[in-house]
Amino acid sequence: MSRKALASLTRPVSRRAFLKTAGAGAAFAALSACAAPVAAPAEGTGGEETMAEPQELNIVYWADSNDFFQGVIDQYQEETGNTVNYEVAPAVYIEWQQMMTTRLASGDTGTDAFHSDDFQAAIYGAAGWLSPLEPVVDLYDIDLDDWPQTLIYDVSSWDGALYRIPWGNDTEIFFYRTDYFEEAGVSPPTDWNDLVEIGTALTDEDAGIYGIALSATIGGQLGNEIQHWTNQGGGAINNLDNDGAREALAFYKALYAEHNIAPDSAPQEDYSSVFQGWLSNKYAMWWCWDGFFGAMRTNEEFWADQVSAFLPPMGPDNAETITGCWGWSVVASSPNQELANEWIGFTARADVMKQQIYRGRVPARVSLWADPEVQDLAPSSPFLLDLAEAGGLVKARPVTPSIQEIYDAAEQNVHAYLTDQVSLDEAVTAAMDKINPILERDLGS
């Protein structure tokens, strides 16, 4: 479905589904790379100098803004003398997943590196379709301590091998309307009990204002909701049958069905509808991906500096939120392993990764989050820095090679509970009856 084209001939369409990229709709001006030309392995002193003979690198990028990415391509080509051929992945996630799965399963030799998501390191790494990147880390002296460690070890590795270097960061943060809070005379909640009390004070159904937004439609969004709430209870989307996870699911439903601080349409709401409601002043709080902050700020009709974020309130077990990323992986069947490795070393550099701010995205390296320019153009980065400084209150979603099956099982059964078709016990039992065999198959336990 996607057509290969030279980067210089490719022109973009917005890539990401609303899931994580509302900010892409307001991407900043195209980047003209301004870093001083240096050999690609510039992270430390290791690595080789620019290759003497020009070569061609073939990559796939799931792009928010090709104008931004063209600047990265231009810088790489200028520094190395190599040519980059890249294609833009299909915008629809399932089409993208099918394309890469078909390509890698066939032993494709026409793709050297690709922009990979959280689940692909496990899925493709377990299948033997990706090259381990530990040699690249050593060759280019990449300091992995500068990344959130959950992104390195929980969603970029599988079975002890590193298959991806995170490039852009996505974290769910707790947005709130500072003006609503000030008018109600309340402060951000510190635990779940506070959340209900404060949400009640902020809700005015006659005015069409609710304390919190929920996105409980099936299709990945409910799965993320399940994960961040059950995680705070000590469970997970693949571990729904412990007491903390059950408590979290019951609490989640009660937010709209009992406390009425979210609309009763929550099981039908997706990110798009909630975001439009947010822009229409419908909600006072929203726990969702940080990329939406950039879209709020660049919506001139809405923005009046009235949105901020607070650290997640404490749940029964912890105060964590979920995080994820996109990154770069090398195709094991590529005949250009050395060139693909050079690309990984290049994109991992702080100066290159920082350029994502020109599409309003937060780079994955923690040290960049305090950079004033990053904070200005990637406006959620100060909140991510707050999470890091508070003790690393971020946790990646659990992944296995069959994570999509787990998400499907959890979403279908939890959604049935949320819409009063089954009881909580029935939903959890049905979900885990499907999930446990998957875990046995994937993890052997």
pLDDT at 66: 64
Which tokens hold the place of 123?
Answer: 């899925």
Whether the CB-CB separation of 234 and 399 falls below 8 Å is answered with no
Residue 4 has pLDDT above 60, yes or no: no
Give 193: exposed, middle or buried? Use CB within 10 Å, 0-12, 13-18, 19+.
exposed
> What is the value of pTM for the model shown?
0.84
Residue 36 has pLDDT above 60, yes or no: no
| Mean pLDDT across 347-351 | 98
Residue 172 has pLDDT above 50, yes or no: yes
Distance (Å, whole) CA 352 – CA 370: 16
pLDDT at 19: 31
Question: DSSP labels for 155-172?
Answer: SSEETTEE--EEEEEEEE
Which is nearest to 256 in space by CA: 215, 309, 287, 207?
215
pLDDT at 65: 61
Instruction: List the beta bridge partners of residue 57.
Output: 84
Distance (Å, whole) CA 365 – CA 146: 5
pLDDT at 72: 94
pLDDT at 124: 95
The count of residues in the chain is: 445
Q: Which of 62-71, 223-232, 251-260, 402-411 has the lowest mean pLDDT?
A: 62-71
Comparing 64 with 117, the larger pLDDT belongs to 117
| Mean pLDDT across 220-238 | 96
- Average pLDDT score, the chain: 88
pLDDT at 64: 62
Distance (Å, whole) CA 410 – CA 96: 23
Q: What is the dihedral of CA 419, 422, 423, 428, to 10 degrees?
A: -100
Rounded to 5 degrees, what are φ and ψ at 401? -60, -15
Tokens 């063209």 locate to 70
Digit-coded pLDDT (tens) for 81-102: 999 999 888 888 778 889 999 9
Distance (Å, whole) CA 55 – CA 51: 8
Which is nearest to 307 in space by CA: 212, 171, 180, 170?
180
Residue 384 has pLDDT above 80, yes or no: yes
Which is nearest to 243 in space by CA: 23, 14, 424, 415?
424
Distance (Å, whole) CA 290 – CA 311: 13
Tokens 């923690």 locate to 366
Digit-coded pLDDT (tens) for 356-381: 998 888 999 999 999 999 999 999 99
- Indicate the helix (H) or strand (E) that contains 103: helix 93-105
Q: pLDDT band at residue 259, thresholds of 50, 70 and 90?
A: very high
**Alpha carbon of 54 to those of 219, 328, 352, 388: distances in Å?**
44, 22, 21, 41
Whether the CB-CB separation of 139 and 345 falls below 8 Å is answered with yes
| DSSP 8-state symbol, 236 | B
Show the domains of the chain with their CATH numbers. 5-170+324-383 (3.40.190.10), 172-322 (3.40.190.10)
Which tokens hold the place of 377?
Answer: 């153009």
With b for 16 or more beta-carbon neighbours within 10 A and e for fewer, the 37-65 pattern comes to eeebbbbeeebeeeeeeeeebbbbbbbbb
- Indicate the helix (H) or strand (E) that contains 84: strand 83-88
| Mean pLDDT across 7-15 | 27
Whether the CB-CB separation of 80 and 305 falls below 8 Å is answered with no
pLDDT at 332: 98
Which tokens hold the place of 356?
Answer: 């994502």
Q: Which of 19-33, 123-137, 189-203, 417-431 has the lowest mean pLDDT?
A: 19-33
Comparing 51 with 31, the larger pLDDT belongs to 51
pLDDT at 52: 54
Which is nearest to 238 in space by CA: 122, 105, 134?
122
* Pairing of the two strands 161-162 and 113-116: unpaired
| Mean pLDDT across 253-281 | 98
| Mean pLDDT across 248-262 | 98
pLDDT at 443: 82
pLDDT at 368: 97
Q: Which of 111-115, 398-402, 411-415, 433-437 has the lowest mean pLDDT?
A: 398-402
| Mean pLDDT across 289-294 | 94
Q: pLDDT band at residue 278, thresholds of 50, 70 and 90?
A: very high
Distance (Å, whole) CA 166 – CA 376: 22
| Mean pLDDT across 115-133 | 93
Contacts of 42 (CB under 8 A, 6+ apart): 349
Which is nearest to 66 in space by CA: 22, 149, 136, 8?
8
Whether the CB-CB separation of 227 and 237 falls below 8 Å is answered with yes
Which tokens hold the place of 288?
Answer: 């969702």
Q: Which of 33-42, 112-121, 315-324 has the lowest mean pLDDT?
A: 33-42
